[in-house]
Structure 1
Amino acid sequence: MAAAAALAGCGSAAGLSASGDRLQVVTSTGLLRDLVENVGGERVNAVSLVPDGADPHSFEPTLRDVRDVVYADVAFTNYMLLEQHSIIKTLDANLRDGVPSVSLAEESVKYAAELIPLVENVNLDTIWLGLRARGDGARHGADRTSDVQLSATAATGPGEVYGYLTGTFGETELYFDSSDGFDAGSGFKHDTATLPVDAHTHMSWAFTEPGVYRVTFQASLRVDATSRPVPLGRATFAFAVGVEPTRAGPPGATVLREGHADLTVDLDRGAIVALHDPEGGGEHAQREHRAEEVVIEVPAKALTEVPGDPQFRFLGKAGEPIHQLPQAVLGKHVHGEIDPHLWQDVGNAMAYVELIRDTLIARDPKGAAAYRANADRYLAELERLDRHVRRAIAAIPAARRYLVTTHDAFAYLAHAYGIEIAGFVTPNPATEPSLAERRKLGETIRNLRVPAVFLEPNLAARSSTLTEVASEQGARVCPIYGDAFDGRVRTYVQMMRFNADSLKGCLS
């Protein structure tokens, strides 16, 4: 990065790119790049850090991406924690001084974009247990590139405990591992989960033997790469694994056994607490508990087997029994309290376009007339697109307007166009889905007479359960696009038209 940054000194004056006549624009995703190209036309050269077909939640930028950032005159991200944290760090660390970096999802509210809280759909038989960093850390000088680190420092119990995440394509990332101890001399680097400020992530938790476990965590805030960590507290949580929860906690302890809970680092108070919501209504519906007041139940029905995939060998030999609280949502998905997929409502995409237009005009005043003309033309096209989506979904019989998919990315589509999300299917890819999970999925499709389920093309390879159960129930499997293009869908307008036509064709 330092070598690439040194090249910036060879560039031209602020506001003009090295090419002299075209504004260099970098975006986080291909979808945003497409919006910029429609507004900027021939006056801009736009590139995206996340290539088409890749997952913005997990993509890691390369040195070539750093070069694109160094030479950028303007940067656009969606943010609201849609993108992988390293993408945001790459942008903020390598943009030249004075280059505007616009978070479209947040700033588009000035242009009448509508935000929807991200509400978790609680449909697992066990509790969802994730991690959260609460607060913005402003009193410590933190910003959106800062890191909140939660480290496991000790664990007791009859077996080993693991905390890990399974990515969109099935790859694993091990965060906590008691089998090799916790080495204070290494700063717990190998037993540490890192989050942006005010963020949340899902995880899987596995235990090799039944019994009572106690796991100790400590937290810190690293404001930037050069600062010393700021201590943020320490706490020990009790887990009742396959045994009666009363064995694990004091009399009157609250047992967390359903819904959604987070082991939470409170940046403002410097403490680690548990936030719990049995209904899955989000952070503001969660009740706070001190660590010593709760027992986290891992019930007997959480007993499963180590998968055959070699990348899960850290859990033991394939077929060996383990107790597991599964990851709630498929894929590596660090997120905040607002659903970041605003563009599934075309009205929100129009707000993005207006914000992009005004940003480009401020950076390149000589192109103001061209930017306004391009934006007016594109906004008219988006108005036609909005009418098309509305008509297509309205043509679906009301009793069939149910969406079942694999990814919680369509709340804006449902809210804007009158379709109900019957459920997004998120079996933990680290284990074979349980009979109960398959039964619930089949009952949903059968009871609601859902004629089709929908898969994002880049997730189709990891969705065998949905396709199998759909086949058993006589439901079609149809494509839908969330946040990534491919060879069939290359623009935002194509994506939304395709989705509307797919919904109409498969549900009517």
Structure 2
Amino acid sequence: MRFLRHSRRRSPVAWLAVLIAITGCAAPPALTDRDNRLQVVTTTGLLRDLVSRVGGDRVNVTSLVPDGADPHSYEPSLRDVRDVVYADVAFSNYVMLEEHNVIKTLDANLDVDAANVSLAESAVKYAAEIIPLVEDVSLDTIWLGLRARGNGARYGANRASDVVLSMTAARGPGAVFGYLTGSFGDTDVYFDSSDGFDAGDGYREDTATLPADAHTHMSWVFTEPGTYELTLSARLRVDQQSRPIPLGESTFTVAVGVPPAESGVDGATVLDRGHADLTVDLEREEVYALYDPEGGGEATQEVVPADRAVIEVPNKALAEVPTASQFGFLGHAGDQIYQLAQAVLGKHVHGEIDPHLWQDVHNAMSYVEVIRDTLIERDPGSAKEYRRNTTAYLEELEELDTYVRDRTAQIPESRRYLVTTHDAFAYLAQAYDMTVAGFVTPNPATEPSLADRRKLTDTIRNLRVPAVFLEPNLAARSSTLTEVAAEQGIRVCPIYGDTFDDTVNTYVAMMRFNADSLRDCLR
């Protein structure tokens, strides 16, 4: 999910319009007119591989997110827009797996006659199993994020619509920042009181955007102790042509390094642990806090009106501005700050469903059947070939499922524990009798606390975990896990979640690699 801080950055849609205006040319004809193949675009390389196995020589398929990139954070390019414009069929995983701008690029540029399929949702009719997303809070301060609650259907909103949340005022003894740290350490700053506030259209500074019915994680920094009042204003932009629809405005109180009782809020509910989201409610047209001190998701969070909520930032949240240049907006390196750290690494915007369905091979088989049906509908003349390819591939996937099951069965039950960097393996655990013991979510902006390291160490030691697992594309940002593993004398092994690389470049290869890695490292 990309949070837009500056309006100067053109969207892929805008750049396509500029390109056509400069060249004076209309878009060229669809590639189906050139080589008689169905043109297919997918969001990820994994989906590209599934489509290529079903489509065979009858399709030309490309993915928007390149191999090795993070689908949660990838920003589409002009070339990606061109691929979408010329496509006959588009496949996304959706359920908030992809960066929101990837989905918007698909929906805004795909031809009206093209098929646009969300595989995770469509695969349910072929018995794909859905797992609710359960988040485990490992931080010892409150986990504070943002949420857009409700789908906005009564306004005509869809998956490409934007819920816009702007900070319009911040009163307190110091500056306040809200920012997100990406998987590779880059930062997106979307709230910054140090330079004033933009009174514009909500797409400039001090603004975050979310899809409807989603939430995200972020870091909050306060430069001085004391009581703050933060005013947030919300609106809905159904599409790029529509005027924003106001959704309410509220002011929240934050007690930074001081007792919450000093905030002056009568009958306050103190948000001091677990999970809280500053929430835009699309149905009630209201901005409030959703709070669960035990760290659950939306289903277990209670509504706390903004005028009764006091967010506590305790003295144990004291930290120093990191030396890395991308954190210079917070002040000079070594300056003291109060920070509520981002609980999940990376641009992690999601709904209430775990989107990584393919880690259960049977779910991938359901995807394949949806792909077959879609290609046949678009290209009935090649139906026989699509069915033949699908039958052969489903047989291969049945063998793959047996392979993964046999490999994990060779791991002693007492060792079937997964400790990873990314919460992407619940389906693998459920399908193949494993247990997710924990996923490490280090905040690259600060040194991990002693409590963070102690929790990880205790998990590894108490469960006698013989190995932990890193996704190759995230390994560079996982120093906490590798250091603790070295201290405990256990192995650090690779596992693939949602992207390919030069070593693993097909779905079958990925699942076989993971099964072998799990067996070899845990047995």
TM-score class, shorter-chain normalisation, is over 0.9
Q: 1:178-207 CA deviation, whole Å, 9 max, x = no partner?
A: 101113146572100011111110000001
Work out which of the residue numbers 250, 254, 260 in structure 1 matches 2:275.
260
- Aligned CA distance change for structure 1 residues 188 and 224 (closer, same or farther; 3 Å): closer
8 A Cα contact 1:222 1:230, kept in partner = yes
- In the other structure, the counterpart of 1:127 is 142
Q: Kindly state the Cα deviation for residue 89 of structure 1 after the two structures are TM-superposed.
A: 1.1
Work out which of the residue numbers 219, 235, 242 in structure 1 matches 2:234.
219
Q: 1:392-428 CA deviation, whole Å, 9 max, x = no partner?
A: 1111111111111110111111111111111100011
Structure 2: distance between partners of 1:434 and 1:126: 11
- In the other structure, the counterpart of 2:499 is 484
- Aligned CA distance change for structure 1 residues 82 and 249 (closer, same or farther; 3 Å): farther
Structure 1: distance between partners of 2:404 and 2:26: 44
Structure 2: distance between partners of 1:471 and 1:252: 48
8 A Cα contact 1:4 1:66, kept in partner = no
8 A Cα contact 2:165 2:202, kept in partner = no
Q: Kindly state the Cα deviation for residue 280 of structure 1 after the two structures are TM-superposed.
A: 2.6
Q: 1:282-301 CA deviation, whole Å, 9 max, x = no partner?
A: 11111111001111111111
- In the other structure, the counterpart of 1:71 is 86
Correspondence 1:367 to 2:382: yes
8 A Cα contact 1:182 1:188, kept in partner = no
- In the other structure, the counterpart of 1:37 is 52
Q: Percent identity?
A: 71
Q: After superposition, where does 1:193-232 map in structure 2 within 5 Å? A: 193-232=208-247
- In the other structure, the counterpart of 1:11 is 29
- Aligned CA distance change for structure 1 residues 237 and 100 (closer, same or farther; 3 Å): same
- Aligned CA distance change for structure 1 residues 7 and 340 (closer, same or farther; 3 Å): farther
Structure 2: distance between partners of 1:307 and 1:339: 32
Residue identity in the other structure for 1:229: P
Work out which of the residue numbers 279, 303, 306 in structure 2 matches 1:288.
303
CA RMSD of aligned residues (A): 1.4
Q: After superposition, where does 1:450-465 map in structure 2 within 5 Å? A: 450-465=465-480
Work out which of the residue numbers 13, 16, 22 in structure 1 matches 2:37.
22
Structure 2: distance between partners of 1:22 and 1:183: 49
- In the other structure, the counterpart of 1:251 is 266
Residue identity in the other structure for 1:183: D
- Aligned CA distance change for structure 1 residues 4 and 351 (closer, same or farther; 3 Å): farther
Work out which of the residue numbers 338, 360, 364 in structure 2 matches 1:345.
360
SS of 2:348's partner is coil
Gaps (5+ residues) in structure 1?
none
SS of 2:236's partner is strand
Q: Kindly state the Cα deviation for residue 281 of structure 1 after the two structures are TM-superposed.
A: 2.5
Structure 2: distance between partners of 1:9 and 1:358: 29
- Aligned CA distance change for structure 1 residues 189 and 478 (closer, same or farther; 3 Å): same
Correspondence 1:472 to 2:487: yes
Structure 1: distance between partners of 2:250 and 2:288: 8
Q: Kindly state the Cα deviation for residue 8 of structure 1 after the two structures are TM-superposed.
A: 6.9
Structure 2: distance between partners of 1:146 and 1:334: 14
Correspondence 1:422 to 2:437: yes
Q: After superposition, where does 1:177-196 map in structure 2 within 5 Å? A: 177-185=192-200, 187=202, 189-196=204-211
Structure 2: distance between partners of 1:408 and 1:18: 43
- In the other structure, the counterpart of 1:384 is 399
Count of matched residue positions in the alignment of Structure 1 and Structure 2: 505
Structure 1: distance between partners of 2:410 and 2:202: 59
Q: 1:452-479 CA deviation, whole Å, 9 max, x = no partner?
A: 0000000000111110110001110000
TM-score (norm 2): 0.95
Q: After superposition, where does 1:393-404 map in structure 2 within 5 Å? A: 393-404=408-419
SS of 2:33's partner is coil
- In the other structure, the counterpart of 1:311 is 326
SS of 1:18's partner is helix
8 A Cα contact 1:150 1:192, kept in partner = yes
Structure 2: distance between partners of 1:44 and 1:381: 20
Residue identity in the other structure for 1:443: D
SS of 1:483's partner is coil
